[in-house]
Amino acid sequence: MPNPASISLIIPAYNEERRLPVSLRDIRAFFGDRVQDIEVLVIVERSTDGTLAAARAAVQGDPRFEIVDNQVHKGKGYAVRCGMLRARGDVVIFMDADLSTPLAEVYAFLAHLSQHPDTHVAIGSREHARSRIMRKQSWLRRNLGRGFNAFVQSLTLRGITDTQCGFKAFRKDAARELFGRQTVDGFAFDVEILMLARELGYKIDVLPVKWVNSPDSKVRIWIDPLKMLWDLLKIRHRVRRSIRARPPSPSAAASPKRETLRGRAP
C-alpha cells in the first residue's frame, strides 16, 4: 500500500438499486482485509427505487461502510457535500457510484499526494494527455461536456479542461474548508469547489485517469446542462461573497496562492 494515511471514500447515490450493490461488492473485494484506515460513506438521496435497502444489504456486517439515508433529493452536489463534511479520513475522495474511474486510481492518487505534500487537491481529468478512455461517451454528451467546459474556462477556471470528472481527492483540512463553503447542490458543484480552491490558495494538481463510460448516466441531457449553465453564471458571485463573508482560515491563507496543472503523469 503506497500511503498509510486514513482514507474516506464518498459515493453519492440516487436511483442506483441496480448498479450500486455491484460496485459495493467490488469495493469490498478490492480492499480485502484492509480495515483500520478506510471508511466508505454512501450518501443515498431519496430515490424512487430500492437503492437504500440494496446498499444496506450489500455491505451488511462490514464496519468500513456507512450507508447514509439523506432523506431528500437535492442533487449530487448536496450529497457529496454531506459526505465530505462527515468524513474522518486524512484524504477524502469522492467517486461515482458506477465506478467509471476504476478503484486502482485510489492508490495512484494517494501515492501522488504522498509524493507532493504541498498539493491540497488532486482531480482526475479525462482530457489529460495520459488518460486512458476505455469506453467513450456518445458524441453528443462529449461535445456538450466540452462546450460546458469552454464556458467554465472563459468565466471562472481558465486552464482546467475537465471540471466534471467524478473522481477528486482532497486533504482533510482542504475538504472541510471547501465543502463548508459550497452552496451549489446540482452537477455544477465541481466548478464552485475548484474556484473556491483557487481563490483560497489551495494547490490543485490535475492527474490522468483510466475511465470507462457508463451508459446509465444520471445527467439528463436536455435539462441538466441548462441548469449547470445557470449555476455557472451565479458561482463567481457566490464564491466572492463567501470569501468576503469568511476570510480564509490561517492554515489556508498560509498556503502559497498557486496551483499546478500537470501535463504529465507524476
Strand partners, 170: 92, 121
Q: What's the pLDDT score for residue 141?
A: 64
Q: What's the pLDDT score for residue 247?
A: 86
Mean pLDDT for 250-260 is 47
* Average predicted confidence (pLDDT) for the chain: 85
Say if residue 69 is exposed, middle or buried (CB neighbours under 10 Å; 0-12, 13-18, 19+). middle
Mean pLDDT for 33-58 is 93
Mean pLDDT for 156-169 is 87
3 pLDDT higher than 50: no
The 10 Å Cβ neighbour count of residue 12 is 27
207 pLDDT higher than 70: yes
Q: For 62-107, write each residue's pLDDT tens digit.
A: 999 999 999 999 999 999 999 999 999 999 999 999 999 999 999 9
- Among 106, 98, 105, smallest CA distance to 20 is for 98
Taking each helix axis from N to C terminus, what angle separates 76-86 and 172-179, rounded to the nearest 10 degrees?
130
3-state secondary structure of 34: coil
Output the pTM of the full model: 0.83
Task: State the Cα–Cα distance between residues 40 and 63, nearest whole angstrom.
Answer: 9
248 pLDDT higher than 60: yes
Q: What's the pLDDT score for residue 262?
A: 39
- Among 235, 156, 193, 162, smallest CA distance to 80 is for 193
Q: What's the pLDDT score for residue 222?
A: 52
Q: What's the pLDDT score for residue 4?
A: 44
Task: State the Cα–Cα distance between residues 25 and 20, nearest whole angstrom.
Answer: 9
Range among 98-102, 154-158, 236-240 with highest mean pLDDT value:
98-102
**Where is pLDDT greater, at 199 or 140?**
199
- Among 10, 19, 73, 55, smallest CA distance to 217 is for 19
Q: What's the pLDDT score for residue 259?
A: 43
Task: State the Cα–Cα distance between residues 68 and 51, nearest whole angstrom.
Answer: 11
Q: Are 78 and 14 in contact (CB under 8 A)?
A: no
Instruction: State the number of CA atoms in the 13 A half-sphere of 126 facing the CB.
Output: 21
The sign of the CA dihedral 147, 161, 184, 19 is: positive
Q: What's the pLDDT score for residue 218?
A: 58
Q: For 110-134, write each residue's pLDDT tens digit.
A: 999 999 999 999 999 998 989 888 6
3-state secondary structure of 210: strand
DSSP H or E segment with residue 227 = helix 224-245
DSSP H or E segment with residue 108 = helix 104-115
Report domain 7-253's class: alpha beta
- Among 47, 83, 229, 264, smallest CA distance to 170 is for 83
238 pLDDT higher than 70: yes
The sign of the CA dihedral 127, 128, 129, 130 is: negative
Q: Are 81 and 178 in contact (CB under 8 A)?
A: no
Q: What's the pLDDT score for residue 232?
A: 78
DSSP H helices, the chain, are: 20-31, 51-58, 76-86, 104-115, 139-155, 172-179, 189-200, 224-245, 250-253
